[in-house]
Amino acid sequence: MTTATSYGAAHSAVLKEGKKIQIGGYDGLRSRNSVGLSRRHVSLFSVSIARPNAFIRAVSTPVKPETETKRSKVEIIKEHSNFIRYPLNEELLTDAPNINESATQIIKFHGSYQQYNRDERGARSYSFMLRTKNPCGKVPNKLYLTMDDLADQFGIGTLRLTTRQTFQLHGVLKKNLKTVMSSIIHSMGSTLGACGDLNRNVLAPAAPFARKDYQFAQQTADNIAALLTPQSGFYYDMWVDGEKIMSAEPPEVVKARNDNSHGTNFPDSPEPIYGTQFLPRKFKIAVTVPTDNSVHLLTNDVGVVVVTDADGEPQGFNLYVGGGMGRTHRLETTFPRLAEPLGYVPKEDILYAVKAIVVTQRENGRRDDRKYSRMKYLISSWGIEKFRSVVEQYYGKKFEPSRELPEWEFKSYLGWHEQGDGGLFCGLHVDSGRIGGEMKVTLREIIEKYNLDVRLTPNQNIILCGIRKAWKRPITTALAQAGLLQPKYVDPLNLTAMACPALPLCPLAITEAERGIPDILKRIRAVFEKVGLKYNESVVIRATGCPNGCARPYMAELGFVGDGPNSYQLWLGGTPNQTSLARTFMNKVKIHDLEKVLEPLFYNWKRKRQSKESFGDFTNRVGFETLQEWVEKWDGVVATRSTYNLRLFTDKDTYEKMDELAKLQNKTAHQLAMEVIRNYASAQQNGKGE
């Protein structure tokens, strides 16, 4: 059976000519030899359309099923788009500053969202946000300089680093879209698939280490990104008049894409993996090495972990599936979810295994209600065993048991590091990923002067790569003068904080995030000082303007999720290594009431935590009922006497007994020891001692 191309543009053209054709209804995606799936007959015909780049060689006319499957509006738009061209190609030619609803959905696949400034009253001033696609966060020197120029010439003068290792360029006018897009393409960049219902940017550790495992992870991410890149040419047709500007693909990528031995492909289709409908929703993949959770592995649809032998040689991969952050307020059937283990595959099979997972979601993910279209809902509905069984049919093999891995750590790569090849790299913290002003000017000067490539991190930071040791001092001085400080000089709260852009441009935002988080962090620092927490202590804080979770607030120790004007839903319980899901603690917390909630939480964390216990672990251990009680009964910080250092040393047996007793009271051994000493001293002073 052949699944073929979109008939929407052809249908429209024929109707304009007054001819009548009958086209059957859509009843889901089905490829030839699909495992356990029904077969349908199709009739084929060719339509030639005057519209440029719109020739359709084969059109599917499925037999109408007895009960037609309900589909979302976006699914119909995709079907009628002639492989993501129509009606965007026509809308771009109009003089209007905006594009229509269908084109707004289609342009996402090209890496852009239509926006308007919500701070302005009266007529809407439309613009477009462009997002690049940079597997592993790699940005060549030429592309960085081009993005810097475009931000000034056609944007709002700033660049933004995203949580998926890409750039966002805001404020581009419709009339300038083609100029900006073609400039990015000709500078070794792309925005293809940075948005839309397909595989998004593939994450990998940004650190340019010359280690086998890191380089293998990054190469794997590049190959997966290439495998799942659209093939029908719509992107280049639209922005560079059909000119193909693509580097040669590794033969293993081409082989895996074309392989249809297990019914994964649409034969004779311009999109062998995606077909006319692409995926039900966005799809996210991350690749990493053991211990390195800089990519927030478990938040992705697919997590890929390199497994090496004792000599550090890559042998294969552990796979994790079903992660995702988005949800809808007060709709319990939507939820954030962590990925769970799927199994292990040898290294030569990774592209086939990933393709099988993607096809399983393509064929079975919901297309009627986009709130439930992410793969996490399919796995939650089926269970991991059924999901694994179906994926194995498309993979053609059984998954091996997952290999045991060490504990995960969050790695930021901030500061100076040895690359391992004689060069250095320098990781720079960027508040909320926003590069502007003097920082932007200085970064450009350094990157241009020393001909540096850069990498973007999933924590909205930037890494300067390939620095000679002789350049370290002048670069450090120039960065410091522009406010780009070494991590030891940045407030620890800021180092791990993230926020989405939210207002004024995001149409989904309910309240502030990027513009609001600087004040939130300052107020939390003041609370830390008030309750006696040290400056070098920190918690992972994230803020988003809506429940979509773009800054991953559901993995934070303290997450702020916009749920009304100037109010947030508070989430607690994530962990610093990004392996635990936070839970809702309070709803509708007004921004001016933050201290009333946070003071008792941090005050009790300071006094009742166990040794080296993170805030997230503490909130999970104590429980939300106790936390809620503390907030409700809070009367303010109790004034304490000045403290003086008293060093205590004891034998191991005494310490272990003291530690065991302390844990029963939710205290540290030191806290209990000081309490015993204080009581003893008071008893002696009052004449009660023996």
Catalytic residue positions?
A: 131, 200, 282, 284, 500, 506, 546, 550
Stretch (H or E) spanning 73: helix 73-79
CB distance 213 to 314 below 8 Å: yes
Alpha helices (H) in 264-383, listed in sequence order:
350-364, 375-382
Q: Cα(471)–Cα(423) distance, rounded to whole angstroms? A: 10
Q: Which pair of tokens denotes residue 107?
A: 């342009």
CB-CB contact of 329 with 547 (8 Å): yes
Contacts of 576 (CB under 8 A, 6+ apart): 410, 496, 540, 557, 614, 616
Burial (CB count <10 Å: 0-12, 13-18, 19+), residue 637: middle
In this structure, are strands 302-308 and 159-161 parallel, antiparallel, or unpaired? unpaired
Of 417, 427, 488, give the one whose Cα is nearest residue 462.
427
Q: How far apart are CA 479 and CA 414, in angstroms?
A: 13
**Listed residue (376, 227, 387) closest to 301, CA to CA:** 376
Secondary structure class of 564 (helix, strand, coil): strand
Q: What is the DSSP letter of 498?
A: E
Alpha-carbon distance 540 to 296, whole Å? 13
Amino acid letter, residue 46: S
Burial of 142 by CB count in 10 Å (0-12 exposed, 13-18 middle, 19+ buried)? middle
- Half-sphere exposure (Cβ direction) of 328: Cα atoms closer than 13 Å: 9
**Cβ neighbours around 491 below 10 Å, total:** 17
Tell me how crowded residue 171 is: count the other CB atoms within 10 A of its CB.
19
Q: Are the C-beta atoms of residues 527 and 599 closer than 8 Å to each other?
A: yes
Q: What are phi and psi for residue 461, nearest 5 degrees?
A: -110, 175
The residues, any chain, with a CB within 8 Å of residue 364's CB and separated by 6 or more, are 378, 390
Residue 435, both tokens:
């590069």
Give the separation between CA 8 and CA 54, rounded to whole angstroms: 11
